[in-house]
Amino acid sequence: MSPALKKCPRRLLVCEKSNFLKEASRHEAHVSKHSFNYKVSLLIPECGVLPSDIAKVISKFSSYYLVRDLPVYRFLEEDMLEIIKKGSFYALSYKTRLDEDNIVALMSRKLILSLDKDTYEQLGLEGKPSLYNHRKPMRYVVTVDLTDKSLVPGTKRYQQVLRSLKERVPLRCDTLLTDCRSDQDGHLKALLSQYTYEKCRPTLSTHSLGELLCPSLHSSDLQGKSLSCTPELFLEWLGAVNLNISCKNSATSFLSTYTCPEPCSSVSQALICTVTGLLPPEDVSALLQELRKYFDAPKFTFWVSLTVHGFVDSPVSWGTTEHGFLKGGENFYNFVCFKNQDYWLHMAAGAHDGCPP
């Protein structure tokens, strides 16, 4: 084996155990800070059909737009600023690669530009070297706070930023954007009418599994001290289930076998529900709230799982913490919700990420 393959890159997995009913619970804060999500997956043991209440919440997920060749300076013009400042507005450049291309993101009224060295130097805006450069800085991050008083239209600072993005380096890119305030949808369409765009809805898919081996989880045992199912093994098992990889360790092919962490038990059926799109944290929060109500009526299972995957090429992970890309772009978190309102939270990041909050 080559020396390069023997080196395992640093990984981050932060685990937290709490109860949704506790005043000090930070579950809402964690969800709200993870702005750019492209996939949400539910695993519900002993369930064959998506519950109507959960389906109703998913049906209310926000629509989003794919806008072709959108100029970045457009976010600074007065009509767009009014929409951004009033609502929960998110935007992310589409099909751009974090380790090679210029990336544009907008969330929490902050415009974030992850730029290569040449673009940064031409732009002339103040920024910081990326935390994940090599020996010499090759990428820079520029953050523009759109609520800053110095950026009010007409001010010197505002004109400088607008001129940099409109004249010095007229950045344009295909962009995904959404606004959680449904009452602003008409205004947004009017503003986008001068561009080529399409309105999109999150895509829902469900898959029922039969006779699934599940780990026997207990809410008090997050770190697997009394059981063999550590957080790493649980997430590995969860990934195998979502990829429809058999956990029965069949001897037909020793090249690809896997066993469920023990102790485990067989459930007669389980439901996997997946939603993909540009999914704002407000929609994820609503789904988590509904999932907590799942145990209001008697259920055979003691837990359900919610996994949220962030865009691998997002310039940030949690809050404004810079997200880097080395090999896999890991950027996700998982809730295991228990019958007694306890929960486990796993937050995973890659080798080029800051520690999740």
**Segments making up each domain of the chain, as ranges:** 3-61+203-349, 64-200
d(C-alpha 23, C-alpha 281), whole Å:
20
Query: What was the pLDDT predicted at 354?
Result: 72
Looking at residue 350, its pLDDT comes to 77
Choice among 42-51, 82-91, 148-157, 205-214 with the minimum mean pLDDT? 82-91
Under the banding of pLDDT at 50, 70 and 90, the label for residue 216 is: confident
Sign of CA dihedral 171, 176, 179, 182: positive
| Encoded tokens for 9 | 């890159």
Does 272 score more than 60 pLDDT? yes
pLDDT confidence of residue 268:
92
pLDDT at 182: 63
| Pairwise CA distance, residues 160 & 76, whole Å | 11
pTM of the model: 0.91
* Average pLDDT of the chain, as a whole number: 88
The proportion of the chain whose per-residue pLDDT surpasses 90, expressed as a percent, equals 60
User: What pLDDT score does 10 carry?
Assistant: 58
Distance CA 147, CA 288 (A): 30
Spatial strand order of the sheet with 12-19 comes to 12-19, 342-349, 331-338, 303-310, 37-45, 264-279, 203-215
Whether pLDDT at 229 is above 80: no
Percentage above 70 pLDDT, the chain? 90
Model pLDDT, residue 11: 66
Amino acid present at 322: E
Rounded to an integer, the average pLDDT of 193-222 is 90
Residue 66, helix vs strand vs coil? strand
Q: What's residue 205's pLDDT?
A: 97
Confidence of residue 191 (pLDDT cuts 50, 70, 90): confident
Q: Mean per-residue pLDDT for 176-191?
A: 78
Query: Mean pLDDT throughout 139-162?
Result: 93
For residue 256, what are the CA distances in angstroms to 191, 210, 252, 345? 52, 21, 9, 29
Strands of the chain, DSSP E: 12-19, 37-45, 64-71, 89-93, 103-107, 110-116, 128-129, 139-145, 172-179, 197-200, 203-215, 264-279, 303-310, 331-338, 342-349
CA dist., res. 178 & res. 161, Å (int)? 23
Q: Give residue 112's pLDDT.
A: 96
Instruction: Return the higher-pLDDT residue of 153 and 190.
Output: 153
pLDDT band at 75 (very low <50, low <70, confident <90, very high): very high
Sheet with 89-93, edge to edge strand ranges: 128-129, 139-145, 110-116, 103-107, 89-93, 172-179, 64-71, 197-200
Lowest mean pLDDT among 155-159, 249-253, 296-300: 249-253
pLDDT grade for 40, boundaries at 50, 70 and 90: very high
Torsion of CA 6, 8, 9, 10, to 10 degrees: -150
Per-residue pLDDT band for 264 (boundaries 50, 70, 90) equals: confident
CA distances from 32 to 26, 108, 308, 313, 347 (A): 10, 10, 12, 19, 14
| CA pair distance 113, 333, nearest whole angstrom | 24
Res. 169 pLDDT band, cuts 50 70 90: very high
Q: Are 339 and 218 in contact (CB under 8 A)?
A: no
CA distances (Å), origin 149, targets 27, 76, 112, 322: 32, 13, 18, 25
Question: Who has greater pLDDT, 256 or 101?
Answer: 101
pLDDT, residue 2, reads 54
Q: What is the mean pLDDT of residues 125-138?
A: 85
Cα distance between residue 92 and residue 316, in whole Å: 11
Determine the pLDDT at residue 42: 97
Q: Measure Cα distances from 207 to 45, 138, 273 in Å.
A: 12, 44, 6
DSSP string, 288-341: HHHHHGGGGS--S-SEEEEEEEEPTT-SBSBTT-B---SSS--EEEEEEEETTS
What is the structure's pLDDT at 74?
Answer: 94
* 3 state SS of 156: helix
pLDDT of residue 255: 59
Cis amide linkage into residue 263, ω under 30° from 0 = yes
Q: How many residues does the chain have?
A: 357
Average pLDDT rounded to a whole number, residues 321-343: 87
Q: Burial of 194 by CB count in 10 Å (0-12 exposed, 13-18 middle, 19+ buried)?
A: exposed
Give residue 330's identity as a one-letter amino acid code: E
- Tokens, residue 191: 């503003």
Give the pLDDT score at 189.
Answer: 80
